[in-house]
A and B are shown apart, each in its own frame.
Chain A
């Protein structure tokens, strides 16, 4: 017995035509996209972003402390170093915030009950590196991010080594 093909209904035809019209329109006047995903279309999370920013905070802290302010042009250099330390500390806070709010889920909190406190303290530590020029503060920030790194990869069931770009 031959298999009959169902003929499309008028509604189905209208829908298909309208979708085709919208797709044609999209070539010249793209519709704004609405993300039905996490932080963005890629959904890639990695504490490495926070680590890199925190390493930059430590690096700039060292450079500021090592700077000879009596040298010619030193004040210009000093201001630039401070500005970069400030922006990298802010970037660290932003990356931590993305992980905290957009990656971690309630089941992770069950496995790591101190998760909120861990992130709260790390973000506050990033702020501490802004208000001071302290190697201890910058190293403490890295230590706290290393802890978050270990928690993050534990949630994925993977062991990813903690590797600094500038050991």
Chain B
């Protein structure tokens, strides 16, 4: 499935629309900068994402990109994709598994470790770029 030339097969996050930027300006979205390569090709080092802070009524789905606290380093924020949901636990995965660690090593993380859900990506790569 393609939207504006960008494949949504692997990612449920689309490039940012004006609406998302307006929401960011209204402080309803939070800006993060991506460091590292474990989420390539969808996210590359230097990309920005906008994310909505997790609320009680927000439902996570498999495929969602999320910002989470590292289970063993509370001060480190990581960005991963939800690969499985299991009651109060979430399995998170790297899109580029050779370059990252995730629930394959840690096991599932508690829901409380998930801090935000990514709503869009801001990148120098445009929707029609390869």
A interface residue numbers (CB < 8 A to B): 8-9, 11-12, 14-16, 18-19, 22, 25-26, 30-41, 43, 97-98, 101-106
Distance, CA A35 to CA B77, complexed state (A): 6
Residue of B36, B99, B100, B106 contacting most chain A CB atoms (<10 Å): B36
Distance of A29 from chain B, by nearest CB (Å)? 9
Q: Is the CB of B48 within 8 A of A32?
A: no
**Is B52 interfacial (CB 8 A cutoff)?**
no
Given A16-B124, A101-B101, also A35-B15 (CB < 8 A): no
Q: Is the CB of B36 within 8 A of A31?
A: no
Q: Is the CB of B123 within 8 A of A36?
A: no
Q: Which residues of A contact B40 (CB under 8 A)?
A: 36
Q: Which residues of A contact B72 (CB under 8 A)?
A: 97-98, 101-102
Q: Which residues of A contact B38 (CB under 8 A)?
A: 36-38
Q: Name the one of A9, A19, A37, A105 contacting B105, with C-beta atoms under 8 angstroms.
A: A105
Distance of B70 from chain A, by nearest CB (Å)? 8
30 pairs of residues in contact across A and B, judged by CB atoms under 8 Å: A11-B126, A12-B128, A15-B16, A16-B126, A19-B123, A22-B48, A26-B33, A30-B33, A31-B31, A32-B32, A32-B77, A33-B32, A33-B33, A33-B34, A33-B35, A35-B35, A36-B35, A36-B36, A36-B39, A36-B80, A36-B94, A37-B36, A38-B100, A41-B35, A43-B99, A97-B72, A101-B101, A101-B106, A104-B105, A105-B101
